[in-house]
């Protein structure tokens, strides 16, 4: 019987092994994750996340789940929107990233956020629990993306909003050439210099290229049962925000 395989960057690996391999990447980069995001994106990741929050329709009193929430940027912003009457859960499969998120939120004086270690493929909450579920720069690291999207759909309330912020595909030829050069030549070297980890940032560059393009991801969202899905390209399509509404 042949073993099922999936991709880990440009490599084919056993499906059962990917999760632990991704975990080791984020164990390695957790302490420098925010610094590297600022350096690698020239600070643009903060603008992308701000746009995501503004597109969310989250209001005071809402209940929000942030999957693969890492160091807590979205969770902190959501906490400010939902206020004392709402609830925000910051989740991540990786304990080291979750620890960084907890530390960041405490240092910034954000209270009321709950922390849960979980896999996006198996969300331990009942159906129709949340007004909004988000995942930013995490879906491409999930082994079974379709299963993750189905789980996000399941735990959303009818009329609830799903947000997927992720690297995507630009159709601007000159930008694509620059981005390819930057991703495979500059990004791993910056990872080596700043985070002492060239290999993890080589994987991250490769994982971006293996992620579905905008239209493919939109179809995946609709196939998972969402009644509506629209996407907005940011920075020329280098990043895209997909927004799905549960029927």
CB count in 10 Å sphere of residue 29: 26
Region 195-206 average pLDDT: 90
Region 85-99 average pLDDT: 96
Output the known binding site for S-adenosyl-L-methionine: 71, 92
Residue 1 pLDDT greater than 70, yes or no = no
Region 193-211 average pLDDT: 91
| 101-151 pLDDT tens trace | 999 999 999 989 999 999 999 999 999 999 999 999 999 999 999 999 999
Q: Tell me, what CATH number does 63's domain have?
A: 3.40.50.150
Going by DSSP bridges, is the β-strand pair 63-67/156-167 parallel, antiparallel, or unpaired?
unpaired
89 vs 20: which has the higher pLDDT: 89
Per the domain annotation, does 31 fall within a domain? yes
Looking at the structure of the chain, the number of domains it has is 1
The alpha carbon of 10 is separated from its chain's Cα centroid by a whole number of angstroms, namely 19
129 burial (CB, 10 Å; 0-12 / 13-18 / 19+) is middle
Per the domain annotation, does 178 fall within a domain? no
Determine the Cα–Cα distance for residues 101 and 98; give it in Å rounded to an integer.
Answer: 5
Per the domain annotation, does 195 fall within a domain? no
Output the known binding site: 71, 92
Supply the range of the domain harboring residue 83.
Answer: 5-172+200-246
Going by DSSP bridges, is the β-strand pair 239-246/156-167 parallel, antiparallel, or unpaired?
antiparallel
Confidence of residue 232 (pLDDT cuts 50, 70, 90): very high
| 161-175 pLDDT tens trace | 999 999 999 989 999
| 125-137 pLDDT tens trace | 999 999 999 999 9
Per the domain annotation, does 187 fall within a domain? no
pLDDT score at 3 = 67
Per the domain annotation, does 182 fall within a domain? no
Region 15-35 average pLDDT: 82
Percent of the chain with pLDDT over 90: 78
pLDDT score at 25 = 80
pLDDT score at 216 = 98
Per the domain annotation, does 95 fall within a domain? yes
Region 193-216 average pLDDT: 92
pLDDT score at 199 = 92
Residue 79 pLDDT greater than 70, yes or no = yes
């Amino acid at each position: 019987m042949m073993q099922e395989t999936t991709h880990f960057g440009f490599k084919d690996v056993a499906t059962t092994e990917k999760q632990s391999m991704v975990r080791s990447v984020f164990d390695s980069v957790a302490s420098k994750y925010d610094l590297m995001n600022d350096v690698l994106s020239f600070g643009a990741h903060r603008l992308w996340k701000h746009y995501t929050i503004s597109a969310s329709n989250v209001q005071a009193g809402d209940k929000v789940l942030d999957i693969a929430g890492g160091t807590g940027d979205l969770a902190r912003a959501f906490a400010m929107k939902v206020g004392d009457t709402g609830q925000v859960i910051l989740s991540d499969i990786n304990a080291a990233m979750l620890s960084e998120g907890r530390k960041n939120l405490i240092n910034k004086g954000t209270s009321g956020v709950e922390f849960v270690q979980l896999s996006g493929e198996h969300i331990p909450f009942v159906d129709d629990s949340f007004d909004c579920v988000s995942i930013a720069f995490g879906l491409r690291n999930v082994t079974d993306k379709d299963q993750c999207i189905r789980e996000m759909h399941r735990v959303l309330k009818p009329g609830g909003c799903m947000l997927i912020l992720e690297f995507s595909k630009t159709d601007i030829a000159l930008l694509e050439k620059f981005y390819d050069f930057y991703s495979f030549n500059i990004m791993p070297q910056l990872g080596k210099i700043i985070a002492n980890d060239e290999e993890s940032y080589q994987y991250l560059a490769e994982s971006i290229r293996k992620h579905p393009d905008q239209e493919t991801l939109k179809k995946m969202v609709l196939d998972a049962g969402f009644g509506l899905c629209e996407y907005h390209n940011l920075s020329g399509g280098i990043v895209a925000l997909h927004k799905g509404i549960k029927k």
